[in-house]
Structure 1
Amino acid sequence: MTGKSDMGARRFGAINWLGLYTLASREVQRFLAVWTQTLMAPLVTAGLFLMIFSIAIGPRRGDVMGVDFTTFIAPGILMMTVIQNAFANTSSSIVISKVQGNIVDTLMPPLSPAELVFGYLAGAVGRGLLVALAIGLGLLMFLGIGVQHPIWALVFVILGAAFLGGLGIVAGIFANKFDQMAAITNFIVTPLAFLSGTFYSVQALPPVLRTFTQFNPIFYLIDGVRFGVLGVSDASPWLGLCVASFATLTICLIAWGMFSRGYRLKA
């Protein structure tokens, strides 16, 4: 049997399930191997954010949208931590492979561009869900914050991890060095995450900033999780679902196009 026939036989139909599973498994094992850094550290960071903002602002801030300030910011901090970790998972995987020169080990197997995207996203979504679960349990245990609408919360967490995971793929392909990756993180991802209603209601913003925020897809992700956890939100969760789904599909298509052309991947 020829090599080409072997390649076709391993696809089990239209999808190379074995290859997709192998790539997804590798991406999941990457962050599980260093769980203290990828899972425990985000939990500590989220706890510090909550503690500092509660001590510094909470007593003077009063209620926001009918809930106390600490409770209001808790879902936003959860979602911000999820998306930052999802972005880091895909972007670091690709950049490290490019810098070390072993990205060819991922590109050579019979995996289509779509399978590459889904394989990388599996790790990002898996890490995001575990981070969300850990922080959610912490909020329940220490602050007594439950989940009002579990399905909504789960959907927005998955969409958030997929969107930032896709953005991480795009950034990882674009960046050829760690300092380029750091610039993307510091000047694009972090500002979008912080200026998205994590620590405030957009109703308190001036009209210009409120309009700017409404064009930020991360705002709808954080607002959607806040609705899922607390039952309050600045925008309709259905609008947030449409915007987040469109943004996720768009960034995944861009990542697919980059893999299809071998953009900044093939010498």
Structure 2
Amino acid sequence: MGVRRFGRVNWLGLYTLASREISRFVVVWTQTLLAPLVTAGLFLMIFNIAIGPRRGDVMGVPFIEFLAPGILMMAVIQNSFANTSSSLVISKVQGNIVDTLMPPLAPLELVLGYLAGGVARGLFVASAISVGLWLTLGIGISHPVWALVFVTLGGVFLGAVGVIAGIFANKFDQMAAITNFIVTPLAFLSGTFYSVQALPPVLETFTRLNPIFYLIDGARFGLIGVSDSNPWLGLAVVSGACAVLIFAAWQMIRTGYRLKT
């Protein structure tokens, strides 16, 4: 019996994979949703106590308000990356990756299924932190559409990076190396804790080459209405980067790179 498809897409298979990836983090919500909320709160509290009163305003807003969107986006990208990468690595280590590769799902459908879990986890985390920021600091959302767009793109971007990293890594220590030496430095050197206008020209140029900078900056514009760059430029840069990463993940799955050998 053939697979029931609507058009050229196996929607049932895609829905099933996406549901599995979402259920992975929902069943352990204290680790995947509550823990990021607590971590974000601790970051904001420590930075506010340590340097907030002496830092003054940044770009015309109090330092704690300037910092909050960056902390939110960092939580989003870290959790989106963790969801996709851990799913693939665990499947490879346990030897059951074949259960995902054997069903009649096209390579792009596999990529989109994994990304659905990463994006959903990022949106859940962003929603929880946004409510916390509103309740504790009174920070609302200045531009809801922009905030939603950049949070979603953040989930797609780091979710795709997670798919690529999960395919490449065969062991947990390899994944830890990718996280510690690539993902974390790019996240911290992205204008989360400072305005790039305060950087020397060389470092400012380097920061503006980092796509995560535009995610942080876009989230900041969406939440508090200020930014270091034009949000339309950020949208173009991040959308292009997402397209490249999705293509790379598709190519790796299509060829079976480090999956079928």
Say yes or no: TM over 0.5: yes
Aligned AA (1:207): P
CA distance in 1, matches of 2:74, 2:207: 15
- Aligned pair partner of 1:251 in 237, 245, 252: 245
Q: How is 1:152-171 mapped onto 2 (pairs within 5 angstroms)? A: 152-171=146-165
Q: How is 1:217-232 mapped onto 2 (pairs within 5 angstroms)? A: 217-232=211-226
Q: Which residue of 1 aligns with 2:111?
A: 117
Ranges of 4+ aligned residues in structure 1 off by more than 3 Å: none
Deviations 1:93-117 (A, max 9, x none): 0000000000000000000000001
TM-fit CA distance, 1:13: 2.5
CA distance in 1, matches of 2:40, 2:109: 33
Q: Which residue of 2 aligns with 1:73?
A: 67
Q: How many residues align?
A: 261
Q: Which residue of 2 aligns with 1:141?
A: 135
- Aligned pair partner of 1:237 in 231, 234, 237: 231
CA distance in 1, matches of 2:4, 2:102: 14
1:21 pairs with 2:9: no
CA distance in 1, matches of 2:139, 2:7: 46
Q: Which residue of 2 aligns with 1:96?
A: 90
1:106 pairs with 2:100: yes
TM-fit CA distance, 1:48: 0.4
Greater shift after overlay, 51-60 or 10-19? Answer: 10-19
Q: Which residue of 1 aligns with 2:168?
A: 174
CA distance in 1, matches of 2:197, 2:121: 32
TM-fit CA distance, 1:12: 2.8
Deviations 1:62-94 (A, max 9, x none): 000000000000000000000000000000000
1:50 pairs with 2:53: no
Q: Which residue of 2 aligns with 1:3?
A: none
CA distance in 2, matches of 1:244, 1:47: 27
TM-fit CA distance, 1:157: 0.2
SS of the equivalent of 1:198 reads: coil
SS of the equivalent of 1:147 reads: coil
Output the aligned Cα RMSD.
Answer: 0.6
- Aligned pair partner of 1:86 in 59, 80, 84: 80
CA distance in 1, matches of 2:5, 2:189: 44
CA distance in 2, matches of 1:16, 1:253: 19
Q: How is 1:176-191 mapped onto 2 (pairs within 5 angstroms)? A: 176-191=170-185
Q: Which residue of 1 aligns with 2:34?
A: 40
CA distance in 1, matches of 2:151, 2:248: 21
Identity %: 76
TM-fit CA distance, 1:10: 1.9
SS of the equivalent of 2:141 reads: coil
1:126 pairs with 2:124: no
Aligned AA (2:101): L
